[in-house]
Amino acid sequence: MLDDLKYIHEKDAQDALGIAERQWDQLQYVFDLPELSFPVENIVYAGMGGSALAAQVSLSWPGYSIPFEIVRGYDIPAYVSSKTLFIASSYSGNTEETVEALRQAEQKGAHIIVIASGGKLETIATEKKYPFAKLPSGFQPRHVVLYNLKALVTILERAKLTAEDKADISLHEAAETVKQAVVGWKADVATPKNPAKLLALEMAGKSPVIYAGPKLFPAAYKWKISFNENAKNVAWCDAFSEFNHNEFLGWYSHPIDKPYGIIELQSDLEHPQIQKRFEISNKLLSGRWPEPHIIKAEGEHILAQLLWTIAFGDFVTLYVALLNGLNPTPVDLIEKLKKELIK
């Protein structure tokens, strides 16, 4: 099935595989933003679902030298003030939680910046002359994580708030890593030689569970979202070493034959004790949980490893969608929910 290009083109009508293949190019996009000169003591980023993913990635890279918090909901932290940089991010521009969070931030006098492709947020940014990073339209939010990351890094550089020098250059270099990697995961690469297809076959019919250390946890979260929205599969994720303090024990109980597929995203850049925890946990849980599929992130630095791992997960989950007989792009149930909420 996964080598039947006619079947793939019929099911993947919106070319989600093509978007995944070309995602590296999102990091080349140029956002027209002014230099941002104002003193801030903290950064708050409001976003939901795919629109929050870039912020999650930014915690691992480029990182922050001042407090940074992601708000996934309607209400903002009490500490937001005129010394807060508040970034409102919604791909559609209409996400009600983010629009409400922006309203609250305005009341606190925060410095506002908007990331969106249009909608209410673009209207607000235009009317109130907020700096606005306009995303290309026509995608699903989970498919534009790298556009969003480039927008966020551009904002941080304009405001001189990046924890890493020349972050923009690093993004361009990492884009080349992704460009080269995806060649081996494309639809026209036969299953026996395609690791993304092979893993998809292993995960079909199972509930995926994705684990990573702190540095790669943003990628694990992206895999979880992609399983949910691409493959329409229940999935969850967790991070080491928190895993060892609770969830670890849950795997030890009966039934031993559990209907899950375990994926571990491992990085040689994690703390040595994190790497040791993976090894010991797998040994102690042997025979008590499904044998994990271990993915060793490729790349010389954490940004390259994050982007490589995210891209690999995109291909795996898209192939699982095809195995499920589904078009991976639509999220009809989410759209129905949104319509019900505004009645």
Domain ranges of the chain: 5-12+181-323, 37-159
Per DSSP bridges, beta strands 84-90 and 293-296 are: unpaired
Q: Is the pLDDT of residue 325 over 80?
A: yes
Over residues 166-213, the pLDDT tens digits come to 787 889 888 998 999 999 999 999 999 999 999 999 999 999 999 999
- Active-site pick, 157, 229, 264, 270: 229
Residue 79 DSSP SS3:
coil
pLDDT given at position 209: 98
CATH (residue range 5-12+181-323):
3.40.50.10490
Confidence of residue 91 (pLDDT cuts 50, 70, 90): very high
Give me 272's structure tokens: 């040595």
Residues 17, 40: Cα–Cα separation, whole Å: 40
Assigned fold of 37-159: Rossmann fold (3.40.50)
Nearest-CA neighbor of 225 among 75, 51, 341?
51
Q: Which residues of 50-73 are buried (b: 16+ CB within 10 A; e: fewer)?
A: bbbbbbbbbbbbbebeeebbbbbe
**Cα separation of 112 and 100, whole Å?**
13
pLDDT at 343 over 90: no
Buried b (16+ CB within 10 A) or exposed e, 291-300: ebbebebebe
37-159 and 5-12+181-323 share a CATH fold: yes
Mean local confidence (pLDDT), 89-101: 97
Q: Examine the residue annotation and report whether 338 is marked as an active-site residue of this protein.
A: yes
Q: Which amino acid is at 161?
A: L
- What pTM value is reported for the model? 0.95
Mean pLDDT score of the chain, rounded to an integer? 95
Residue 65 pLDDT grade (very low, low, confident, very high; cuts 50, 70, 90): confident
Task: List the catalytic residue out of 83, 108, 301, 338.
Answer: 338
Q: Which is catalytic among the residues 245, 254, 283, 343?
A: 245
